[in-house]
Each structure stands twice: as structure tokens, then as C-alpha cells.
Structure 1
């Protein structure tokens, strides 16, 4: 599913359109070849406009607002931080983890831990990289290091460092919490899919969303008419989530 969505969305869809253009041109279907290329270019242009990114992202964030616990209160058995917040270290080239765009997930977990919301934080995220000098540090370990820097005791952190996607996050967390009440922290756009998978897995889970998109009112009106890479990234991120919600059937195996 992930590979398919990557191929149908920019920038990979531009390469697909160019390959189709070349293949169809060589086959003598010039009109169809031009259509394939124009559609790929048009898709990239449309998804790069800020209002389009806003509309797609709001579709997910509106659902998230109905699902999240805005001001969590005591007590949960554990706070669960889903992977995607940090890039793991990859020794010997990269010795330290790198905080990503979704780093708010880790900040929020530390805040809620210090507020006494739960006695334990579960960091969930593995790594499929194997570089010379040893395996890359997992996302879970990267988040653990950051949480310790934020004052969370090491003994309060449990690593779930095997999962490579949201489905595996839920499977592996279920084995750790054994029916306990958990608060899952993830980016707002990801909340609808994570909540769906948690329900399928039978988890007793509430959600706290972070990394909300910036309101359109904060940018000058003229910027709405200028395509930009950031808007294209938000559009593609939202479309990947929407496509996974609609068509990814792998999550059905989560049922206990």
C-alpha cells in the first residue's frame, strides 16, 4: 500500500508520467502520451497550492478533533508515543538521533508524564536500516534518549522497537499493555487512522493530537496563489492517510 501511494503522488508521479509519456510516444500513441504527462504536471501543480493542502489536511484534522482528549487528566496506565517523531541514529555515519517535523509527539509525552498523567511512557517504533558498523538505532530508542534529556526517568520508559508501521505499533503495544488504559500521542493528521487501528486491535485507548497544521489566516492572502513545496508535502501526507483509511485492508488482521 505504501509503495502504491508513493507512486501515484508527487514527486514520484512526475517520474511515472514521464515514463508513460516516453513509452506511449515510442508506441505511437502521441495524444495519450501528452495526456499522461499533462495530468502528472497538473496534479503536482494543484497539490502545491496552499488552499488545496489546507482542505485535504482539514478533512483529517476535523475527524481528529472529534477523537482526541484535548486536556488529558489522570490516570492512564501508560502514554504511548507512536513512531515518526525522530530519525534514528545510524552509526557510524550518524551518531545521534534527529528530531523530525513530528517531534511535538515526544515533547507532549514528556509534558504529560511530568503532569502525572501516567507512570510509564511506551515509545513505539523500529528501524529497517542496517548500515555498516551495526544496526541503526530504533525510533523507540531515539525517543527514549530525547525523553531522558527532557527529564523523564529511564526506568519509566518502555521500548517497543520492532514495529515498522502503525499496524505493527498497535499489535506490539497491545502485547505490552495487556488491556491497560493508554493515552496515544500522535500527529493530528494521523489520529483518525491510528484510532481506527487501535479500535480494531481492541485497545482501551484515548488519543492526544499534536503537530496541528497552521491556520490559513496566519499567512498573507497572496500566498494562497503561489505553489510551494511545503503545501505539496502536506497535500501528499493527507492523501496518503486518506487512501490508507479507505483502502488499506491489512489492518483487519488486528482483530483479537
Structure 2
């Protein structure tokens, strides 16, 4: 059952890829033309593709999805007052890029570093012990957790306060592998730091593994309503569409008892 659902969602993920959608439309039109049938259907598909490009490229769809994914996490700074005596900050990796055989953190990672450090600094300033758990292996030779750790140390975070979870390859594993570490520490509060568009799915997965994290969104994305479609709007819209599919997958698996 889980294998079939995994396969289904992998297929659905393809429909959040612009090149796949364009390829699919071209193939369908070509097949219909080859059989010299259904001219109206070919025209309809062509019109549908054009409308989809406009609808996605002009930012309207992205604007709607952006609000759904992120609006709950815009004003979360006041939650820091609920720290208690031993808060834990869980930071999710944001990817690694390889430039000239040198591995560097993805640009999105640095907003997460800054947000986590601001929390950490505020707690330490008030003499509240605090730990940072960095979750992420990534696909490079050096783990995301290690690269995050190097940056935190340069900012003045004590090595004693840094815990590296360097096995996870995706958000599901972030939650699965980080949760036992957090539970052993028995913190009064757990802060989850990741990007705004990624937060809803991340919170749902951490809740699946028995935690109730306080969301601290580090960055936000949005589209701009434009007269003419542009690649900026399209790129962010497709990123958020994939996130929607991920949220549905978590919800369905939870309802069927297949997560965990």
C-alpha cells in the first residue's frame, strides 16, 4: 500500500514540473494530429497550455498558494517569550551547492542560520541555556549539519551548544531522526527554524513524531502580479505547488497510520 502511494505521489510531483507539463501537452497534440482526429481537442489543449502559462507566470496562482503556506508564520517573534529554562532550537538544512569542487551552503540556508542565531543569542543574553540541533546530511561529501556548525561557531555559538544530526536526506527524515534527540533532552520548548513555505509540512511531520514545535520562519517567498508572465513567478509557483503535494502526502499518510 505504501509503495503504491509513494509511486502515486512521485507521479503527481511530475505535474509540478513545467517541462513535464509542456512535454505532455506536445505529446498529446502530436498523437492526436498523427491520427488526424479531434482537431477541436488539439486546439483546446493548446489553449489550456497557454492559459496555464499565463495563470502561473503572472503570479496569481503563486500569490494564493503563498498565503496558504506562509501567512500563519509571519508574526511569530513574540513566541520567544515561551522559552522556559532549556529551549532547543532545531534548524533544518537548506541544501548544499558545489562551486568549483567547493561545497557551500545554499543561499536559503543563511536566513535559517541568522534566525536560529537570533533566538540563541536572545536566550543566552538572558542566561537561559539553549541548544541548537542542526538537521541535514545533504547530497555532498560534507554534511549540511557540518557546514551549518562551522558558520554558527564563527558567529560565536559554543561548540558545546551545537548538536549535529547528519543522517537525514529529506524533511521526513529531519523529523524522524531529530525527534529522539530532542525527546532525550526533555526541553520545555522546541523551536523549529526553516523557510516559511516549508514550515507547514515540517511542523506536521515533527508533530507526527510526537513533538509540538514553535515555528520560526526564517524567510518567505511570494510572486508578483504582472501583466506578462515571467520565469520568476513560474519558478516560485512550481516550488510551492510541490510543497502543497508534500503536505497532502503527510496528511494522507498520517490518516492511514503510515508515517512514523
The answer, yes or no, to whether TM exceeds 0.5 is yes
Is 1:10 aligned with 2:21? no
Q: Which residue among 108, 130, 147 is the counterpart of 1:119?
A: 130
Deviations 1:46-93 (A, max 9, x none): 111133322220121223358x45451334431111122x41558xx4
Q: How many residues align?
A: 239
State the Cα distance separating 1:153 from its structure 2 match.
2.5
Superposition CA RMSD, Å:
2.8
- Deviation track 1:216-241 (CA, whole Å, cap 9, x = no partner) reads 6xxxxxx6213221111221122222
CA 1:98/1:24 → structure 2, altered by over 3 Å: closer, same or farther? farther
Return the TM-score normalized by structure 1.
0.79
Which residue does the alignment assign to 1:109?
Answer: 116
Counterpart of 2:70?
Answer: 61
Unaligned runs of 5+ residues in structure 2 are: 1-8
CA positional deviation for 1:172: 0.5
CA distance 1:5–1:215, change in 2 (3 Å): closer
Among 55, 61, 73, the alignment partner of 1:52 is: 61
> Cα distance, 1:174 vs. partner?
0.8
The 3 A distance-change label for structure 1 pair 113 and 186 is same
Q: With structure 2 as the length reference, what TM-score do the two structures score?
A: 0.78
Q: Where does the alignment leave 5 or more consecutive residues of structure 1 unmatched? A: 130-134, 217-222
SS for the counterpart of 1:224 is coil
* C-alpha contact (below 8 Å) 2:111/2:219 kept by paired residues: yes
Which residue number in structure 2 is paired with residue 219 of structure 1?
A: none
Q: Is the counterpart of residue 182 in structure 1 residue 152 in structure 2?
A: no
Aligned counterpart, 2:102: 95
Could you tell which deviates more after superposition, 199-208 or 56-65?
Answer: 56-65
**Structure 1: distance between partners of 2:219 and 2:212:** 23
Aligned-pair CA distance for 1:250: 4.1
- For the pair 1:39 / 2:45, whether they are aligned, the reply is no
Q: Measured at CA, do residues 214 and 5 of structure 1 come closer, stay the same or move farther in structure 2, by a change above 3 Å?
A: closer
Residue range with higher mean Cα deviation, 5-14 or 204-213: 5-14
Instruction: String of CA shifts for 1:104-163, please: whole Å, max 9, x gaps.
Output: 111111121122265211111122x4xxxxx62222222222222322223322111111
Q: Which has the higher helix share?
A: 2
